[in-house]
Amino acid sequence: MALDPVLSARADEQAHAARTMWNLLHVWWQMMPKDKRTPANADAAIRRARKDIDFLAVLPAQAAQAVLKTYLQAWKNCWEGRAAAPDFKARLRSVMAVDIPQGRDLNIVRVHRRWGMVNIPKLGRVRFRWTKNLPVGRQADGDNRITGARLVKDALGWHIAFRIQTLEARPEPHRGPEVGIDVGITVPLALSDGTTYGHGEWLTESEQARLLRLERLAARRKKHRKPGERTSRRLHRTYDQIADLRAKAKRRAVDWQHKTTTAIAAKYSVVVVEALTITNMVKSAKGTLEQPGRNVAQKSGLNRAISRQAWGRTITMLTYKTARRGGTLHKVPAPGTSQRCSACGFTTPGSRENQAVFVCKNPDCGWSGNADHNASMNVLHLYRMGLALVPAAGRAVVRRARRVKPATAR
């Protein structure tokens, strides 16, 4: 979005007001008895807060109602076991965003091939970059229309995302092969048919050097700050420059993930991945004072490498992209997939001494090959054995299914 400093400051005020509205609503929810926690009472409390607190008036009424709707949905997700209970939103750690729940007042107009104009409540007409085809004008009807929008701010500025309601035909069943995928750090995606997908560094050498220089500069300026002293403008500016580079790296990573998952979903009908609990994999190894951990620095580096790969986001993309093309995604248990030999089926100690090469220690086998390729074949083998995981009430259970071989055409 092309916002001047004045409009950007107004959007910031609306985002802070929306975050404050969420926190006030959370306080009200905790203080009220259970029989008084109704949407009607919450709506009345929001209306009263917008009248009593001046700075909440900068938030449009529709956006305030969207905060209530999102908060109630968060509790519903918690009760159904899909997420944790909602909590307060911190100023520095929460995403700055404003919802526009109704799309009828946006009045979207395409100026030319690259730019469009949109009407945002209490901001006016704003230009935005036209990157997707939107159902506007004659293209909009009852089945294809814009139902709302959302303003989101990151380190690179404010962006707008439109919610579109569209009617799509049910896809035909995908006729492609099955594939197992092993995720890793050195090789991000290794497929059971021998295909690998990798990437380089998200930042160039000059950008990495600049990021390192800025991080050292921020640490030096923070070191000379006295306890309780406010952060200087120079330090804030350094933090902003660091955030810009990290946001640029994240955009490049997401772009690679989109292109890679699109290619996989278009080629394969069944995609099988491991059911990884990433939160447990990136836990700290510091331990306690009585029992300190070992190799803490190495474990910290491994945790950062795992977080940079964003395996969960890749699996999420594969889930909806395979469904759009008539395919399916399945998860299988993760333990033992990298230690088992895909040729003989035995798990022998010492077969995975080298991280890159798998050598079976079974005297009757002796197979050797790429370790990631071996793990991906084991992932596919678990699915073909019927050991697929089905999510049920926030947990995964093993499903043993009898697979029927499809009939071949004669």
Contact 311, 277 (CB under 8 A): no
Helix then strand then coil, % of the chain, to nearest 5: 40, 20, 40
d(CA 323, CA 19) in angstroms, rounded, equals: 34
What type of residue is 175?
R
| Active-site annotation holds for 372 | yes
Contact 172, 326 (CB under 8 A): yes
Torsion of CA 174, 178, 184, 188, to 10 degrees: -50
Concatenating the DSSP letter of every residue in 36-82 gives G--HHHHHHHHHHHHHHSGGGGGS-HHHHHHHHHHHHHHHHHHHTTS
The one catalytic residue among 87, 274, 290, 353: 274
The one catalytic residue among 87, 182, 201, 290: 182
| Active-site annotation holds for 168 | no
Contact 28, 53 (CB under 8 A): no
The one catalytic residue among 52, 154, 207, 372: 372
Cβ neighbours for 134, distance < 8 A, ≥ 6 positions apart: 108, 110, 116, 146, 162, 164
Taking residue 303's Cβ as centre, other Cβ atoms within 10 Å add up to: 15
Contact 354, 371 (CB under 8 A): yes
The SS3 of residue 403 is coil
Q: How many helices and strands, by DSSP H and E, does the chain display? A: 9, 15
CB-count exposure of residue 188 (10 Å: 0-12, 13-18, 19+): buried
Give the residue from 313, 306, 314 showing the smallest Cα distance to 260: 314
- Residue 294 has which token pair? 């070992």
| Active-site annotation holds for 182 | yes
d(CA 311, CA 260) in angstroms, rounded, equals: 13
Cite the active site residues: 182, 274, 372
